[in-house]
Structure 1
C-alpha cells in the first residue's frame, strides 16, 4: 500500500536540520537522510510503515509504504516539524541578544514530533551515562538483532518490537554492550510500551516514564522532545547542557541543573528550544579535564 501527500512548509524551512535529530548519527538501521531525501520506518497502530519525505518545487512530498501508510502520512507534517508552534518565542528571544541572533539564524529549523514513544525511549535509555558512540553502537546492534524488514524500497528495518524486547533475558543485551542496569530499565519500559504510546501529552508521558525504576527526568525529556515535539523539555541531569546554558546566558564556565533552570526561566515554554539553539550554533562552555573514555560492556 502506498499513500502520498503534498505539504507546504513555512518560509526558510530547513528540511535536513529539522528531521536529522530523528536518526542516530552516521548510520541508523531504521531511517536515513541522503541526497535531500528522508526515510523513517515506524510501527503504527495500523501496522508497519515507512515514510519518505522529499522536497519538490518548494513543497514537501510525503509518501507512506506498507499497511500503516495512511497513519504515517497523516502524521507526516508533525514528523517533518511542520506542526511546531513558535507562538511567543520571538518575543522571548528578543530579551537576549545571543538567543535572538540564533533564533533568526536557525528560524527554519522546526521541532519534529513522531508520536512514537518507545523507539525514542529505547535510544534514550541506551544513552544513559555512556558516550554517544557507545550508545549508538548498541542501538544499531539491537535494531539489527530484533529488526524486521520495513515496507518500501529503502532497505530499512522496523524499530524493535517492544514485546520481543520485554520477552528477552537481560543477558541477551550484554553482547550489544548494554549492562544489566540499563537493560533492566529497557525491559521495564518495553513491558508497558503500549501504555506509554497512549499518553495524551508530554506531562502524562513524563509521569508514566519516571515512575519506572531506571528512568529519570533526563531520559523522559529526551523522549518527549521528539515523540511529542515538546519545545520546553529540558534534559535535567545532562553532563554538558547545564554548563552550556550557564556559559551562554551568564558567562559562567560551569553550571548546575538548578542554575540552568534559573537562567532558562524567562524562556519557559521554549526552554528546550533555547538549548537546541545553543547546540545548533555550536555554543559550548570551556572544556576542562579528559573526555569520558569509550568502553565496551560486551568485553566485561
Structure 2
C-alpha cells in the first residue's frame, strides 16, 4: 500500500512511540531507515515494513497470514486519523517545538491488548526494567515473525499464551505477582477489551479500568497508542507532572496542578508532551530521588 498522508508525517517520529525499549523484539529500524513492526490481527500474525520514499509519500508492505488486515490499518498506525488542526501552541516554546516537528503524528494501532501488556509491565518500575521484562517474555513466548526481516523478530504472544505463562517464568522475567496476575486476568477478557477501540474515549477508559490492576495511568498509555488519543495524559506517572511543570512553568507540580495548568491545551495534552520530548526540552533538574530498580527475581 502506498498513500499520501493528509497532514505532514514523519515516519520515525510517529511510529517510534510504539517501540518498547531499544531492543524491542517487535520493532526494528533497519540501515535504510525502514521501520519493521510485528502485530496480531483477527486473521493472524503479521510483519509490516514501513518506508517513506518522499516527504508526502508513505508505503507499507506486509507478510504473514494477517498481512492483509494489518496493511489496511497502516495509515492509522502512521497517524492518518490524528488531526492537529485545532492545536494552538499558545506559547513560544510550544510554537517552536510544533514548527520544528511538523510531522509528529499520534499513531493509532487499534490493538488494545497489544498495548495493554507492556503498559502493565511498566507500572511502578523504571523503564529499563519493564523493557527487559517485555523483551524476555516476547522472545520466550512469542512467535517467529513472518517475512524477510533484517534480523530475527518476534510477534507478541496471543492472549491465551499470556494467560498460560507459568509463575516461575514471570519471576525469571523480573515481573512481580501483582503485574503477572493483572496481565493474565486481562488476557482472559482480551476480546472484550478489543471492543474499546470502537468506543468513545470515556467509555473506552471505563472498559479498561474495569480490569483489576488497570488504573487511569495504564488506560492513558493504551489510549495513546491503541486509540491515537492526542489528549491522553498519563496522570499518576512518577515523573510526568514535574517534567511538564518545569518544562513549561519552571517548577514542580502535583498531578492536580498539572491537569489545571494544561487546560488551555485540552484535546491535545498528550501532543504537548510528545512535542516537548521531540524538541529535547528538559524538565525537572535531576537532583531529586529517582525510582529505584527492584529485582523481583531476588524476592
TM-score tier after normalising by the smaller chain length: over 0.9
- Structure 2 vs 1, CA of residues 30 and 235 (structure 1 numbering), >3 Å: closer, same or farther? same
State the partner residue of 1:274.
Answer: 272
SS of the residue corresponding to residue 87 of structure 1 reads helix
1:127 equivalent to 2:122? Answer: yes
Q: 2: CA distance between counterparts of 1:158 and 1:248?
A: 37
SS of the residue corresponding to residue 47 of structure 2 reads strand
- Normalising by structure 2, we get a TM-score of 0.93
Q: 2: CA distance between counterparts of 1:57 and 1:214?
A: 44
1:256 CA displacement: 0.5
Q: 2: CA distance between counterparts of 1:227 and 1:184?
A: 22
SS of the residue corresponding to residue 49 of structure 1 reads strand
Where does 1:141-180 land on structure 2 (aligned, <5 Å)? 141-154=136-149, 155-180=152-177
Does structure 1 conserve the Cα–Cα contact (< 8 Å) formed by 2:41 and 2:69?
A: yes
Q: 1: CA distance between counterparts of 2:275 and 2:190?
A: 31
Moved more, 221-230 or 283-292: 283-292
SS of the residue corresponding to residue 84 of structure 2 reads coil
Deviations 1:6-53 (A, max 9, x none): 112357532211111111221111121223111111110111111111
1:160 CA displacement: 1.1
Instruction: Give unpaired runs (5+ residues) of structure 2.
Output: none
1:228 CA displacement: 0.8
State the partner residue of 1:294.
Answer: 293
Taking only aligned residues, the RMSD between alpha carbons, in angstroms, comes to 1.6
State the partner residue of 2:98.
Answer: 103
Alignment coverage as a number of residue pairs: 292
Deviations 1:136-173 (A, max 9, x none): 00000110111111221113211111111113343431
SS of the residue corresponding to residue 243 of structure 1 reads helix
Q: 2: CA distance between counterparts of 1:151 and 1:8?
A: 27
Match of 1:79 among 74, 77, 80: 77
Match of 1:48 among 21, 45, 48: 45
- Normalising by structure 1, we get a TM-score of 0.92
Does structure 2 conserve the Cα–Cα contact (< 8 Å) formed by 1:32 and 1:39?
A: yes
State the partner residue of 2:27.
Answer: 31
SS of the residue corresponding to residue 120 of structure 2 reads helix
1:186 CA displacement: 1.0
Does structure 1 conserve the Cα–Cα contact (< 8 Å) formed by 2:9 and 2:78?
A: no
- After TM superposition, the runs of 4+ consecutive aligned structure 1 residues lying more than 4 A away are none
Does structure 2 conserve the Cα–Cα contact (< 8 Å) formed by 1:143 and 1:159?
A: yes
Match of 2:187 among 171, 174, 190: 190
State the partner residue of 1:249.
Answer: 248
Instruction: Give unpaired runs (5+ residues) of structure 1.
Output: none
SS of the residue corresponding to residue 36 of structure 2 reads strand
1:137 equivalent to 2:132? Answer: yes
Does structure 2 conserve the Cα–Cα contact (< 8 Å) formed by 1:20 and 1:33?
A: no
